[in-house]
Chain A
Amino acid sequence: MRAWWTAFIFVAAAAIAIIAPAGAQTSGNVDVRWYTSAIVQTALTPNYASGYGTVKAVFGTQPTPAPGAGACLDGCAVDFGVVQAGLQYLYKYAAHLNVMTNDTAGFNVYAEGAADFTDGAGNSMALGQTLFYVPSVASGDLNNGFTAGFPLQVTGGVVSGPPDPNTPPSIAYTTYPAPVYTSPSQNGDVYHDYEMKVPPTANASNYFVWIVYTVVAR
């Protein structure tokens, strides 16, 4: 019996050796290559410096900034407070965006409104004709209400939902708008004042809008 098993193993091994092609491998190589996506970290701080708040547009000596009740240092809303139709205002130290990325090419910043100014009851103000951003600094801001600004437009992207004063929206882009800031560096800070030109025909009401900052690694 033992001799029979020995013969069987020998014949089976010989058969495998004959059937298997010469040089066949029992393992292969998988070549996987990839580029690592950049990591982007941002921090957005409203009312980022003491002295934040609303200033009526005048030349010369500037009034003391006076934010609305909905504003607070290093947070809350950018609240212009009570503004009059037909007048123009500056809001100092409105937004500070801190960006860090591991992309050595830097990053782009986009800033858009999720919608027009609305009071949620049918009244609205066209955002692109009403709210402007003005490049600012960390402290010692010398802007006034007539400093040149750039309009904040309503996004052409897909917004996560209808305007809601209590729910920050998000925007899905298929095409990005023109950046409000381009950094060739990995890290950077963007400082914005806001300027409001209240339409002369604006209806009296409480308005809000969400401004969405999007940072994209270049």
Chain B
Amino acid sequence: MNRLQRLALALAVVITGAVLFSPRSHAGLAQQQRDQISIAVIVNVTPAAGYVPAPQAPPAIAARLGLHEARGSERNVDAFPSSGGDLVAQTSNQKSLKVTAQVTPNPNATLLYGNLPMVQMTGTAGTTVQQTCIYTVTVHTTISTWTLREGLSGNFAGNFPGTDLANNSYIAGATPQPTSTPFIVYPTSWSVLAQSGGIKTYCVDLSLTIPAAVPGGTYSTNAVYTLYY
């Protein structure tokens, strides 16, 4: 084997290894994307103790009416006493719009689905919150070999990365994994939740570590599941 042949052989080994050991590439070559769903993860954050909030908003608009008694005409002019609370008149304005949709059947609607389109978690900044089997994901097919990938569509916010959310996904009814795995955030290649076959339902435990510096408020991301075979 001359030098050129050895170089070609080494190159072939490297390429083969890259194909075999890269899950995304392997799935991309051998399997096609068949379905994709997302589950919204809404997080309500309470500020951490000691967190200094922004200056408070001024009080609501109030209408206050007080009639002082007219001296010298007590019995004849007084309208009503000025005791009692302020009269509060919040000024508002309302507009509405119509949303319409024509829903049609989808023969693949149950190929990959979750039991909930949205879940909510509530926690205090600087703490970790966990919820067991907060949602399930089901692959419903007779295909004997498929791959299910998972990831997040984005971060919660600039200072609240999606990797702070970890999942422990396991067959419903079975024992959870020993540890949770942080979600991978798009556009990084998503991780493989399972390579299996037939009908499978996965329970998903979520563990969320909220950075202490995250201000109170509502945050959101989507957990995306993609089925290949």
Question: Of A1-9, A10-18, A81-89, which stretch is located at the interface?
Answer: A81-89
Chain A nearest CB: distance from B192 CB in Å?
Answer: 17
A35-B93 in contact (CB<8A) = no
Cα distance, A101 to B106, chains bound together (Å): 47
A146-B153 in contact (CB<8A) = yes
Q: How many residues on the A side are at the interface (Cβ–Cβ under 8 A)?
A: 91
Cα distance, A169 to B96, chains bound together (Å): 7
User: What residue in chain B is nearest A87 (Cβ atoms)?
Assistant: B106
Q: How many residues on the B side are at the interface (Cβ–Cβ under 8 A)?
A: 57
B106-A84 in contact (CB<8A) = yes
User: What residue in chain A is nearest B70 (Cβ atoms)?
Assistant: A28
Cα distance, A90 to B106, chains bound together (Å): 18
Interface centre among A30, A105, A169, A196 (most CB of B within 10 A): A30
Cα distance, A103 to B89, chains bound together (Å): 13
Per-residue contact bits, chain B 49-71, to A (CB 8 Å; 1 contact, 0 not): 00000000110111111111011
Question: Of B9-17, B21-29, B33-41, which stretch is located at the interface?
Answer: B33-41
> Cβ of B224 < 8 Å from any Cβ of A?
yes
Chain B nearest CB: distance from A162 CB in Å?
Answer: 15
Contacts of B222 in A (CB 8 A): 146-148
Contacts of A150 in B (CB 8 A): 42, 218, 220
Contacts of B187 in A (CB 8 A): 59
> Cβ of A129 < 8 Å from any Cβ of B?
yes
B92-A215 in contact (CB<8A) = yes
Chain A nearest CB: distance from B11 CB in Å?
Answer: 30
> Cβ of B95 < 8 Å from any Cβ of A?
yes
Known contacts A78-B99, A82-B104; decide if A200 and B93 are in contact (CB<8 Å).
Answer: no
User: What residue in chain A is nearest B97 (Cβ atoms)?
Assistant: A46
B97-A210 in contact (CB<8A) = yes
Cα distance, A61 to B38, chains bound together (Å): 18
> Cβ of B81 < 8 Å from any Cβ of A?
no
B contact residues vs A (CB 8 Å cutoff)? 36-38, 40, 42, 57-58, 60-68, 70-73, 77, 89-106, 108-110, 113, 116-118, 153-154, 156, 186-187, 218-222, 224
Q: List 23 A-B contacts (CB under 8 A).
A: A28-B72, A28-B73, A30-B70, A31-B67, A33-B65, A38-B61, A39-B91, A40-B91, A40-B93, A42-B94, A43-B95, A59-B187, A77-B99, A78-B100, A129-B118, A148-B221, A196-B101, A197-B38, A200-B106, A204-B103, A206-B103, A217-B61, A218-B58
Closest 4 CB pairs of A and B: A28-B70, A86-B109, A44-B95, A84-B106
